Homo-oligomer: A and B are copies of this chain.
């Protein structure tokens, strides 16, 4: 009977690495801030776009709308973001970081970029090929929201 070695199975390895990187990524914000992954994604997305709606956050960060809703609420409770009603379409709200939120964002981002840099450094001369291959994978498996985020 044909067998499969799980530890060599590509989907398993991808998930395992993704989870391990996410786990190590906690060292970026863990020591100073208490953030969940969805909250980090929302923070990063608002920080990137200045002002954005919850729907757009979900689309850009591949998160289910309920997850976005809860993360937004959590950040709002911490006074890291504020909602501004959109009078042109009162179904949606514009979200923006507060001064406090911007300061947190400003502290986390450099560490995140440094963290990423260390990963790339570990890849050495294979970094370029790896990143190019990632893009092919992203293209091959595009579409749909992505449940069960680890990071």
Contact = CB atoms under 8 A, between A and B. Distances in A.
Given A106-B1, A150-B150, A17 B133 contact: no
Contact of A122 (B13, B102, B140): B140
A95 B5 CA distance: 18
Q: A-side binding surface: helix, strand, loop or mixed?
A: helix
9 contacts: A5-B48, A11-B21, A15-B151, A17-B141, A18-B18, A20-B143, A24-B141, A126-B129, A133-B133
Interface of A: 1-7, 9-25, 41, 44-45, 47-48, 60-62, 102, 105-106, 109-110, 112-113, 115-116, 119-120, 122-124, 126-127, 129-130, 132-134, 136-138, 140-144, 146-151
